[in-house]
């Protein structure tokens, strides 16, 4: 079944706490699926990370442990208890072992998880694919492909093959047969179909073990899902006789993708903009959190701006201040929106809300700009990546810059072609940007790069509004992003093994933070 990105699943969201959406929010979603598979009863967990992947070096500092444990406890990604995850996992009586050794993982963000209680054992292999998105690729040693956007029913039986025809005839979802450590049928359906399926199974005169896995994404998928376009070239063809703005095309896309009304699309984005604004304003009051590198720096920026000590440029300076504030909220475990990721959560809202606030644009205009930015993100995630572990910071801050540039053009009522050109030029300016986080905290050089992304977005928006020639169309730039990301060395893709992360100062900071961190004694670690 072909999958298509959703603005609210893949691009702008989730609403979360933690340093990294690829690590924390994605891990939490994988943990939620594991909890459902165990029918909410977990006593022991064995987690395996490959030493050649990103998680071997970053699972603790970037929030993978926090997210996964929160998911195993059944929490949401914005739960305020996440910062005390070790205490809560201990109180729940769940024993966790983490083992770093070769598991043959081909993806840098691979979680191999074995779960036990007194009655049963299950194994899950899941991937974090960027921006909080996931794919479950194996259950009980049988290949699957699950993104968390369906209601899933697993029917365990030694006679699963004999059940295939009768379950398929019910026509209540897509049915597949799986054989590994156990035999089961996997049924992908919507909520109504799943309810009917369970009712019919209950009438069967057989002993079956049933597990239901709830969707972890806000926008669900369905059979025969289609979208109006998935490349810029297709968008232009679709718009040939419509003359729609980029935000209107985004509303069309998400309405068809999610099977929801355009009014609901606008309302959902409005709620996201409200969360972003609230986070920015909270950040400007000052933030405090022990386990981080940078203190609250946006307050000094605000003071110097008010005292006119900065180089003039109100739109740029407000965008820098708002971007910094959002990053500080993230680093202090406040609520943010991954847009497109937590590591790049400052640039897009900082630019759009900073520009709109300075120039007096309305909330509706901010919503439209954010929706337009989301559609640019759809093209990026469909054909490249948001994952720094796969494509470097180009995939995170680079993507945010291109999205924000298009959004600023929409704020200024620019044309569709100008919006697309702004995104193209901003992405061109970000090619090859590496990810080398200091001490596994998504703060340095992440803050600088978010601010750079905002600054580039504003510059490229003005260039596009002045009809600068983009030279390379957006589709081709996104294709190039994919090729460049594949060429970036493993040590420069969010592993902490290269770049600024291995400087003498970075290592001193890392040692100091590790010395300050106390362990609740609930997790054992083993490394090859």
For 407, the token pair is 């959004």
Neighbouring CB atoms inside 10 A of 520's CB total 13
Which pLDDT belongs to residue 520?
46
Instruction: Quick: pLDDT tens for 412-461.
Output: 999 999 999 999 999 999 999 999 999 989 999 999 999 999 999 999 99
Instruction: Quick: pLDDT tens for 91-129.
Output: 999 999 999 999 999 999 999 999 999 999 999 999 999
pTM of the full structure: 0.94
Which pLDDT belongs to residue 15?
97
Which regions of 68-171 does DSSP assign to beta strands (E)?
Answer: 95-100, 110-116, 121-130, 133-139, 142-146, 151-156
Which pLDDT belongs to residue 61?
85
Phi, psi of 467, deg, nearest 5: 60, 35
Instruction: Quick: pLDDT tens for 185-202.
Output: 999 999 999 999 999 999
Which pLDDT belongs to residue 291?
83
Neighbouring CB atoms inside 10 A of 158's CB total 9
For 284, the token pair is 């400007």
Mean per-residue pLDDT of the chain: 95
Q: Cβ distance 485 to 395 under 8 Å?
A: yes
Q: Cβ distance 4 to 227 under 8 Å?
A: yes
Find the farthest-apart pair of alpha carbons in the chain and give their distance in angstroms, rounded: 79
Residues listed for the chain? 528
Phi, psi of 429, deg, nearest 5: -75, -10
Which pLDDT belongs to residue 2?
66
| CA R_g for the chain | 23
Query: What's the gap between Cα 266 and its chain centre?
Result: 21
Q: Which residues of the chain have pLDDT under 70?
A: 1-2, 516-522, 525, 527-528
Would you give the DSSP letter of residue 62? Answer: T
Which pLDDT belongs to residue 205?
84
Q: Cβ distance 334 to 342 under 8 Å?
A: no
């Amino acid at each position: 079944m072909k999958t298509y990105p959703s603005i609210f699943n893949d691009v702008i969201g989730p609403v979360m706490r933690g340093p990294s959406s690829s690590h924390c929010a994605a891990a939490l979603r994988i943990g939620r699926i594991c909890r459902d598979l165990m029918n909410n009863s977990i006593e022991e967990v064995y987690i395996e990370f490959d030493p050649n992947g990103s998680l071997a070096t970053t699972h603790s500092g970037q929030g993978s442990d926090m997210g996964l444990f929160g998911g195993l406890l059944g929490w949401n990604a914005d739960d305020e208890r996440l910062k005390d995850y070790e205490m809560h996992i201990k109180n729940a009586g769940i024993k966790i072992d983490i083992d770093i050794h070769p598991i043959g993982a081909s993806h840098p963000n691979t979680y191999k998880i074995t779960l036990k209680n007194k009655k049963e054992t299950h194994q899950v292999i899941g991937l974090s694919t960027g921006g909080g998105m996931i794919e479950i690729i194996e259950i009980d040693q049988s290949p699957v492909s699950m993104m968390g956007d369906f209601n899933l029913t697993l029917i365990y039986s030694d006679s699963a093959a004999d059940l295939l025809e009768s379950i398929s005839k019910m026509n209540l979802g897509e049915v597949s047969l799986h054989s590994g450590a156990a035999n089961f049928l996997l049924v992908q359906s919507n909520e109504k179909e799943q309810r009917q399926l369970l009712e019919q199974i209950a009438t069967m005169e057989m002993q079956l073990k049933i597990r239901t896995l709830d969707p972890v994404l806000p926008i669900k998928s369905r059979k025969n899902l289609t979208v109006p376009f998935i490349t810029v070239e297709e968008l232009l063809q679709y718009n040939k006789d419509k003359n729609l703005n980029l935000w209107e095309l985004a509303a069309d896309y998400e309405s068809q993708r999610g099977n929801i009304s355009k009014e609901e699309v606008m309302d959902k984005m409005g709620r996201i903009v409200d969360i972003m604004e609230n986070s920015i304003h909270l950040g400007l009051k000052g933030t405090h959190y022990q386990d981080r590198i940078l203190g609250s720096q946006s307050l000094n920026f605000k003071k110097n701006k008010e005292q006119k000590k900065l180089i003039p440029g109100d739109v740029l300076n407000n965008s820098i201040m708002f971007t910094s504030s959002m990053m500080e909220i993230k680093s202090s475990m406040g609520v943010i929106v991954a847009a497109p990721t937590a590591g790049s959560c400052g640039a897009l809202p900082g630019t759009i809300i900073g520009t709109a606030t300075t120039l007096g644009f309305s909330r509706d205009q901010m919503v439209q700009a954010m929706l337009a930015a989301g559609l640019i993100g759809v093209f990026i995630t469909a054909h490249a990546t948001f994952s720094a572990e796969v494509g470097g910071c180009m995939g995170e801050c680079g993507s945010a810059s291109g999205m924000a540039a298009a959004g600023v053009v929409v704020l200024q009522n620019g044309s569709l072609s100008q919006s697309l050109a702004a995104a193209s030029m901003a992405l061109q300016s970000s090619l090859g940007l590496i990810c080398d986080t200091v001490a596994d905290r998504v703060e340095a050089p992440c803050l600088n790069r978010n601010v750079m992304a905002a600054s580039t977005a504003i510059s490229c928006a003005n260039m596009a509004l002045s009809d600068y020639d983009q030279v390379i169309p957006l589709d081709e730039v996104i294709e190039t992003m994919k090729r460049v990301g594949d060429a970036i060395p493993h040590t420069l893709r969010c592993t902490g093994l290269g770049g600024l992360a291995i400087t003498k100062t970075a290592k001193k900071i890392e040692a100091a933070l590790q010395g300050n961190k106390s362990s609740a004694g609930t997790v054992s670690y083993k490394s090859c």
